[in-house]
Each structure stands twice: as C-alpha cells, then as structure tokens.
Amino acid sequence: NPSEILPWISGNQVLIVTNEIVAPLYLDALKTSLEEKEVVDLILRDGESTKNLSTAEKIFDRMLQIPLDRTATVVALGGGVIGDMAGFTAACYQRGIPFIQIPTTLLSQVDSSVGGKTGVNHPKGKNMIGAFYQPQRVLIDISVLSTLEPAQFSSGMAEVIKYGLINDPEFFGWLENNLEPVLLLNPEVLEYLIEQSCLNKARIVELDEREGGVRALLNLGHTFGHAIETATGYGAWLHGEGVALGMVMAMYMSMEQGWVERADYDRACKLIERCNLPVNPSADFGARELKKLMGLDKKVQAGNLRLILSRGIGKAFVCDDYDEEALDKTLAYFAIG
Amino acid sequence: NPSEILPWISGNQVLIVTNEIVAPLYLDALKTSLEEKEVVDLILRDGESTKNLSTAEKIFDRMLQIPLDRTATVVALGGGVIGDMAGFTAACYQRGIPFIQIPTTLLSQVDSSVGGKTGVNHPKGKNMIGAFYQPQRVLIDISVLSTLEPAQFSSGMAEVIKYGLINDPEFFGWLENNLEPVLLLNPEVLEYLIEQSCLNKARIVELDEREGGVRALLNLGHTFGHAIETATGYGAWLHGEGVALGMVMAMYMSMEQGWVERADYDRACKLIERCNLPVNPSADFGARELKKLMGLDKKVQAGNLRLILSRGIGKAFVCDDYDEEALDKTLAYFAIG
C-alpha cells in the first residue's frame, strides 16, 4: 500500500533487500508502490545460513555499485534474517542511512522488528557482530502470514509464548484459550496477538534499550536455544524451534531448583507442543557440546553464565545464582546426542 | 603509564590491536602497565591497505577465539587505521564493547581520535562502511612522535593546517611563525599544536555530531583528497598528502571563482609546502578519473556534489552553488595523469 510506505522515504533512492522466497510473492507489488522512486533490489538466499559477514559484504557491494548516497533508504522485505542483514548494513553504510522494515514472518513481526537490534552470525557464535539501529518505520501486514510455511509460523509462536512466560500470565492464558483461531489465521485474533507481543517487547526494551538489565528477560530460552542453533549448524533448527526447547529447558531447570511447580512446567510444554514446537529431548546435540556453546554465548557477564530462569508462568527472572547441578541435569535430560 | 590507562578499564579482558611498526616500540610497555588484566594482542600489517572488511573479520575471529565477553575493552595502539579498525570492530562486537584509543601518530592525535567516527574502506570508496562510536578515553603521549617517520609527521600536519584554514586564521598565523620548532618536535610547541587542533575539531563536532551541517567543514580538502587516495590505490599517497593537495585544489578552485585572493592561495601553498606536503600538479591521476571518483564520495547529497570551498584563510564554507567550469579548470590544472 503506497500511502503507507511513501511518507517514510525522504530521499530518492531505495534499495529493497529480500530473499528468493519472499521476492516472487511481494517484490513486484512493493516496487509498484514505490514507482516514483529510483528502486533497486537485492535478492538473497533464504535462511539463517545467509546471516553472515560475507552476505553483508554482498549488500555493501550492491550499495556501492549503484551507488547509494546518504539519503537513500534500505527496505527490508522478509523475515528476521533479512531484517538483520538489511538493518546491519544500513547501520554501517556511510555510518548509517535510513532503514524501513516490512516483516513478512510471524517471528519478525512479533520480535526482530521491535527493539533496534541487528546482528550477523560468526561461525563461533550467533549475533556476535551487529549494531543497535532503529528503523524509521516498521510496516506490518497480517495478510502475508497466509503464505508462510507452517513451520515458520510455529517458529514465530515460540516468541509469542515467550512474552506470556516472561511476565504476562494473562496473555499466556489467552493463548491457551485462543490457539485454534490463531492457528487458523483468524485476522482479528492474529492482530491482537501481534499487538500484544509487540507491546510486551516494547515495554521491556523501553526500560533498557542497551540491555544492561531487564532486557535480558527477552533472552528466556535463548541461551539454550542459541547453543542448539549453533550446535546443529545455523538453519537446521529454526530459531523458534531452538527457543521453544530452550524455554522448556529453562522451565525444567527452574523446576529442578524447586522454583517452578510441575503444573506450570506442564502448562508451558503443552502450549509449546500444541504449536508443533519441540519439547522433547533431542539426539541432535550433546550435553557437553551445548554447555560449551552456552559459555560462549554473549549473555555471559565477566565469566559468570547468566541464565533467564523462572518462578512460574509469567515470572521469569535474571539469575546467576543457581546450582550447576541443576544445569547439568537439565542438559543431560534434553541433550542426548 | 599504568595510572593513566587502568582507571578506564572496567572489565578483566583487554585486546590490544596494533600494527607491526608500533608493536616493537610500545606493545611491551603497554602490556606491562596492564599486567593485572588478562591481555591479548593482535598485530596487523601497517598501512591504509589493511583498512578493509577482511581485516575486520580477522579481528572478529580473534575476539571470538579468546573469546572476549561483553565487559572486555579493546585498546587501539597505533595511528588512524588502527583506531578505525579497532573502533569499528569494538562498535560491532556484541553490538558494542568498551574501547580506548592510544594514538601514536600526529594525524591520529589531532584528527581521527576526536569525533567518534570509525570507518573501513571499500574498493569503491573510502570509509564507506563504519559506525559512530566514541572511545571511553583517548590517551595522547607526545613523546611517541619522536619515533614517527617524517612523511607520517607531515601527513598529520595537513590536518593541523586544515583547522587554521577552516575557521582559525590566528592558529594559521601561529603555525607560520612556529613551524621550525614544530618540525624539530619541541614538546611545548607540539603540546599547544595538538591541543588547539583537538579543540578546533571538538568545537565543530559538538555542534554537529552526525554531520548534517557544519561538520562538513572538516572535509576541507577531503573530497579531492579521498579521490586522489582512491585513484592511486589506498596507501600509495598518505592520507595527509591527499588532503594537502586537496586543500590546495579547493583554494585554487575558490580563486577561480573569484572568492579567494592570490595572496591567500599563496600563503596556504607556502605553509603546506614547508611541511614537505604536495602542492604541485601530479601525473598520478587524471582529471576525468578524479571527477568520477568525487561523484562517488560520501559527501554527495542526493546527486549534488557538495564541496568545501573558501573565501580566504580561516573562511571555509560548505558550497553546492559553484561553476562546474571552475571545478573542471582545477582538475585540469592539478590532475595531469
């Protein structure tokens, strides 16, 4: 819809960064709505495995081949990977040019498009290289979710459930009661779900834009999840799948500590499983491997491994005072590779 | 001097980024002064040709090999290239970790360590990729200048002269009167020179941290100079050499426009030449080549080539309303390759 995007583009040049899955669906329509501008595009391969520095270099090459000047706008048309790559390169190109996000997955609509974090992966750690960079505008169109693969939709649901688990037990209950219309993509229900998710994230980010304190709560399930993603090679497990099992592990470990009741653990597992997300032990990785990879994760503060643990549904907290035994038991139970 | 650097380092890990020229001179002493920390180093090759994304990747690899956590400090021990590379990678590593600069060249002491700009080169343009990122602290030791090669010292003098030419005619006059003790590295005179230069730059940067307006004045000589550097391949001409001839060209073009008197042009040339910096036409590049490269320079605003021109010593101004003929005459006169 041209009336939505045009007012947010001040210069004359636009670079659309998208991928091979999204381009055939929406690129032409977006270009048409931008026809009064000088528009070029760059179509990347799909998936987390393209989120690295060599792809960033490809984008810089394209920017300089045109060349884009400082008033040009970069538009990210795609999911979280596209948002990260386009955002990071927009942040660095000439030390920052305008940037707009059009997230086309549930995951990017409820998570990566809020908060201004961009990052690319390094073989030794996820999102290790990046920038804090806010888009001029995020344009969310719910109708694009109808073309999303079911596994991708589920992956987004992991982050949605996360907001309930962190500090919004009412939202968690709403999800339990409304999961069927959500999975059937009922527009009104989806709109509420996305709105609540973005509000939840924005509230936490506002308190702490640069992640000194409460923002860490958003990493619930992510320290385990990133290790799973790294262990299995970026792309084998979807991000939300890693986060889903990671949240289950965080709840399990909290239960081991005596902080979470079995009933709350079961509720979490049940909702996650209903979204077709993993909750069971996996042979894709081993306990020792995961522990090592978690030690490298950027949530590490001066050598102490900080984790987001829980005292129940909606009661996550930042914890660096736990028994290593509870961690080891959790890893031994879930990481059976 | 440990009492100077230690208070500025909060975490336990330190990565010193330096180069093969500076390391044998100062690395051991710096490490000794940091011996209570966990210190590692990375020694890069010298020169502008290392200022690129593949060197950035090398630094990221080193950071992750250790691995550095979020409380680690990156120390740049070297000139502008080291400051840029260390600053850019510190800005991007885990989206930003602390950073300290110890500039060891005149150029980096009077220019690149003030203002928070970091950048790396792309084959198609200088400093095209970068970040705004402020160091925690800049530690300047004048005594290191005694080990600097004369050509490197001269290169720094180009930026010093620039501050006089932009808006400080008194400082320009002081330089004319005190150049001998400066070139003999008289410490008191050098201290005044560095202080005035940093103050001059800081005043302009403060008015305009993100370069919308007056900060552009700092680019006096740089649009020409960057094109010269790009045309000759990064490293063949020192940065200050390009800037020196660039300033001469800006003054010449302003004279062509009738804005600068011959006497002022001659004063500028004389002072630049006394520092052993280029003021004469060069066969290293051609007029057409330079013009094309200037069109790519990041000082381009939505297609209009903005230049920093002059109305006399200490009277530089931002100009996008000039005769193309004056530009062409200037290029034809100086670029004879």
Residue type, A204: I
Q: What DSSP string runs through B250-277?
A: HHHHHHHTT-S-HHHHHHHHHHHHHTT-
Which residues of chain A are within 8 Å of residue B117 when distances are taken between CB atoms?
A: 95
**Residues B68, B97 contacting (CB under 8 angstroms):** yes
Query: Which residues are paired to A100 by β-bridges?
Result: A75, A137
What is the arithmetic mean of pLDDT over A273-299?
88
What pLDDT is stored for residue A124 in this prediction?
Answer: 86
A71, A94, A120, A124: which to substitute to probe chain B, counting the most B Cβ within 10 Å?
A94
pLDDT in tens, A18-66: 999 999 999 999 999 999 999 999 999 998 889 999 999 999 999 999 9
Residue the block writes with tokens 């005292």: A311
Which residue in A127, A155, A140, A135 sits closest to A56, CA to CA? Answer: A127
What pLDDT is stored for residue A63 in this prediction?
Answer: 97
Distance from CA of B300 to the nearest CA of A (A): 7
What pLDDT is stored for residue A54 in this prediction?
Answer: 94
Chain-chain contact of A64 with B96 (C-beta, under 8 angstroms):
no
Q: How many residues can be counted in chain B?
A: 337
The minimal CB distance from A303 to the residues B69, B92, B93 is found for B69
**How many CB atoms neighbour CB B296 within 10 A?**
17
Q: What DSSP string runs through A12-51?
A: SEEEEEEETTTIIIIIHHHHHHTTTSEEEEEEEPSSGGG-
Rounded to 5°, angle at Cα A276 from A272 and A279: 50
Which residue in B154, B303, B289 sits closest to B228, CA to CA? Answer: B289
pLDDT in tens, A107-130: 999 998 888 999 999 988 889 999
What pLDDT is stored for residue B264 in this prediction?
Answer: 98
Gap between the Cα atoms of A71 and A225, Å rounded: 38
Q: Is the pLDDT of residue A297 over 60?
A: no
Which residues of chain B are within 8 Å of residue A12 when distances are taken between CB atoms?
A: 302-303
Low-confidence stretches of chain B (pLDDT beneath 50)? none
**Residues A297, A232 contacting (CB under 8 angstroms):** no
Gap between the Cα atoms of B97 and B112, Å rounded: 19
Which residues of chain B are within 8 Å of residue A210 when distances are taken between CB atoms?
A: 96
**How many CB atoms neighbour CB A233 within 10 A?**
12
Distance from CA of B299 to the nearest CA of A (A): 8
Strand blocks (E) in chain A: 13-19, 38-44, 73-78, 99-103, 117-122, 125-132, 137-138, 300-301, 304-305, 307-310, 316-319
Which residue in A123, A112, A122, A67 sits closest to A87, CA to CA? Answer: A112
What pLDDT is stored for residue B2 in this prediction?
Answer: 54
The band of A84, judged by pLDDT with boundaries at 50, 70 and 90, is very high
Q: In this complex, is the C-beta atom of B122 within 8 Å of any C-beta atom belonging to chain A?
A: yes
Which residue of chain B comes nearest to A94, CA vs CA? B128
Gap between the Cα atoms of B19 and B74, Å rounded: 14
pTM: 0.85
What pLDDT is stored for residue B233 in this prediction?
Answer: 85
**Residues A81, A229 contacting (CB under 8 angstroms):** no
Q: Is the dihedral of CA A108, A109, A111, A114 positive or negative?
A: positive
Q: Is the pLDDT of residue A142 over 90?
A: yes
For B167, phi then psi, to 5°, come to: -155, 20
Q: Is the pLDDT of residue A145 over 80?
A: yes
Query: Which residues are paired to B93 by β-bridges?
Result: A129
Instruction: Find the range with the poorest average confidence among A185-194, A230-239, A255-264, B282-291.
Output: A230-239
Rounded to 5°, angle at Cα A48 from A47 and A54: 100
Q: How many CA atoms lie within 13 A of B186 on its CB side?
A: 10
Gap between the Cα atoms of B230 and B328, Å rounded: 19
